[in-house]
Amino acid sequence: MMSSRRWPTPEPLKYHVHNESQTIEVAKKISSELSPGAVLALHGELGAGKSVFARAVMRALGVRDQALPSPTFAIIQEYEGRGCRLAHMDWYRLHGIDELEAIGVREYMQPPWVCLIEWSERAAKLLPPQAIHISLNYVTDDPDARMIEISPDPLS
């Protein structure tokens, strides 16, 4: 695992990880920089590791539940953390932003919440300006390797 710069920085921070445990280590490191009101937009193809990353952040912030089910069918799962509440969202099956307005999505993007969103591309305009973008990308032909990029701006 390697990184080039300290986060947060205006330039994307990049980690080349070789397995799931290293992804979890990166998530823990990022978690130590988060405070209530943080919004993390997780990007990457199916199976890239967005849920792995999100669950690692939740555990690092004090969520004790064992299973941490994927929110795919619920849009959102709520958890109690240490000094914050956590919202884990998955917008993959979203039909329209009305669905998000109906659950009062903006409430989850401010203190006391830390908000983790998979497939935020489905409703990108609902992300607040402080959102941190975390992109997990497959690299080479190693099924367990990923390039993780962390940036204050959406990556193209």
Ligand X SMILES: Nc1ncnc2c1ncn2[C@@H]1O[C@H](COP(=O)(O)OP(=O)(O)OP(=O)(O)O)[C@@H](O)[C@H]1O
Residues that bind ligand X (CB under 6 A): 17, 19-20, 23, 44, 46-52, 118, 144, 146
Q: Is 77 in the site for Mg ion (CB under 5 A)?
A: no
End-to-end CA distance of the chain, in Å? Answer: 23
Using CB under 5 A, which of 51, 120, 135, 151 touches Mg ion? 51
- Residue 75: which of 99, 56, 106, 54 has the closest Cα? 99
CA distance 134 to 40: 7
Taking phi first (over 0 means left), then psi (-120 to 50 degrees means alpha), and beta for anything else, what does residue 66 get? Answer: alpha
Q: Is 55 in the site for Mg ion (CB under 5 A)?
A: no
Taking the complex as a whole, the smallest distance from the CB of residue 122 to ligand X amounts, in Å, to 11
Compute and round to an integer the Cα radius of gyration of the chain. 15
Q: Is 88 in the site for Mg ion (CB under 5 A)?
A: no
Give the nearer residue to ligand X in terms of CB position, either 36 or 94.
94
Binding residues (CB under 5 A) for Mg ion: these are: 50-51, 118
